């Protein structure tokens, strides 16, 4: 960040920071509550049952280290569940497991936003670093086109975050439906799952808002340097 004490940066970033703080609080609160509610299956067993019912018996489920480190890896078509989610027979565990299985089902069914997100992963992974390098070089050598390319590189992260929103919301919606359809959760459990997954969804909204506002900030502060000089 090139203007760490710039009031404009703080002002523009404040809405996203407040939303993220609220969303993270909601995730922790709803997750803690749902972890106290028993479920008939562990997270791993629920994931296995849902995958088998979807015709994806070849998709493995493996425990992974870290808290809330659950994810689906499309490179090896594996659902990775944190140890707590993997082993716990709680509403929170089956809700999170079902969400990750939702990504596996998206992958298997060729869900378009999921495929688009996979294509955009390199932009999200390397865009911010490339942005930093290009901006520094552009300012050091007075090369406006490098600054413009830096902004474009950062925009790649924005594109990824925007594409990621429907992917995450769809996975959550699939999880809510399938848990009820397969009678893994009752009505009260379905409400708890909804609360956990909806809270998690707001963290993705906050992250997207943050990168959009950050890009706008850099465009305002650096955009004037991209005009051609005589």
Q: What sign does the dihedral 30-36-42-46 (CA atoms) show?
A: negative
Cβ neighbour number for residue 78 with a 10 Å cutoff: 16
- Which pLDDT belongs to residue 203? 97
Q: Which residues are catalytic?
A: 100
Under-70 pLDDT residues of the chain = 1-4, 226-230
Question: Which DSSP state fits 62?
Answer: E
- Which pLDDT belongs to residue 230? 40
- Which pLDDT belongs to residue 138? 94
pLDDT digits (tens, 9 = 90+) for 173-227: 999 999 999 999 999 999 999 999 999 999 999 999 999 999 999 999 997 776 5
Q: What sign does the dihedral 149-126-68-195 (CA atoms) show?
A: positive
Helix (H) or strand (E) holding 229: none
**Model confidence, pTM:** 0.92
Name the residue ranges covered by the structural domains of the chain. 7-226
């Amino acid at each position: 960040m090139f203007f760490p004490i710039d009031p404009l940066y703080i002002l523009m970033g404040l809405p996203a920071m407040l939303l993220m703080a609220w969303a993270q609080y909601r995730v922790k609160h709803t997750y803690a509550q749902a972890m106290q509610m028993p479920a008939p299956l562990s997270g791993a067993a629920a994931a296995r049952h849902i995958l088998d019912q979807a015709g994806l018996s070849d998709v493995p489920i493996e425990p992974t280290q870290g808290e809330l480190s659950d994810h689906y890896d499309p490179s090896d078509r594996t659902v990775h569940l944190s140890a707590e989610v993997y082993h716990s027979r709680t509403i929170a565990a089956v809700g999170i497991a079902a969400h990750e299985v939702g990504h596996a089902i998206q992958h298997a069914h060729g869900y378009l936003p999921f495929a688009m997100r996979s294509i955009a992963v390199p932009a999200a992974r390397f865009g911010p670093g490339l942005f930093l390098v290009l901006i520094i070089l552009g300012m050091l050598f007075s090369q406006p086109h490098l600054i413009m390319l830096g902004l474009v590189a950062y925009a790649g992260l924005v594109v990824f975050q925007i594409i990621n929103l429907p992917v995450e919301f769809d996975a959550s919606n699939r999880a809510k439906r399938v848990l009820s359809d397969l009678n893994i959760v009752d009505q009260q459990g379905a409400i708890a799952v909804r609360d956990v997954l909806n809270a998690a969804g707001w963290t993705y909204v906050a992250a997207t808002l943050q990168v959009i506002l950050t890009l706008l900030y850099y465009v305002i502060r650096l955009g004037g340097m991209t005009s051609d000089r005589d």
